[in-house]
Amino acid sequence: AARFGDIDEVRTLAAQNGVSLDSKDAQGRTALHMASANGHIDIVEYLVKNGADVNAVNVENNTPLHWASLNGRIEVVKYLIVSGANVSSLNSYERTPVDEAVSNGKISVIDAINEAVIQVELSRS
């Protein structure tokens, strides 16, 4: 549901007793990974506001921020960082979200990451 942008189905699943927002598939992917990779900001916001782990890792230690970055999902990238995503997190290939963006030609993501980091820093001071 998160992968395909079905917010109503995500809400229904989340409302069922015993269904964790951080449930993982065989590759360790959470709903937040899928929504982030596919740019479904409404689902990303819903999941984060309801306690999903913004720094959850899959079997390759990729976080939702890694996936949003490599897919050029600027709005999602900014939201995840402001929500506490670790921009320095290394995956199994010792790559950060910035590295993933660069290697996939998503240069605009680097600007988004920098803007969001500055926003977080300013909010702390």
CATH number at residue 120: 1.25.40.20
- Let me know if residue 108 belongs to a domain: yes
End-to-end CA distance of the chain: 38
Which tens digit of pLDDT belongs to each residue from 43-93?
Answer: 999 999 999 999 999 999 999 999 999 999 999 999 999 999 999 999 999
d(CA 117, CA 120): 5
- Give 30's pLDDT tier (boundaries 50, 70, 90): very high
> In 10 A of CB 16, how many CB atoms?
7
Average model confidence (pLDDT) for the chain?
90
Q: How many domains does the chain have?
A: 1
- 112 has a pLDDT exceeding 80: yes
Indicate if the pLDDT at residue 17 is higher than 70. no
Residue numbers of the domain that contains 80:
7-124
Question: For the residues 106-125, what does the mean pLDDT come to?
Answer: 90
Give the confidence band of 3 by pLDDT, cuts at 50, 70, 90.
low
Q: Which residues of 42-65 are buried (b: 16+ CB within 10 A; e: fewer)?
A: ebbbbbbeeebbbebbbeeebbbb
Residue 117 in domain: yes
Q: Is residue 2 part of a domain?
A: no
In a domain, 30, yes or no: yes
Listed residue (55, 32, 34) closest to 45, CA to CA: 32
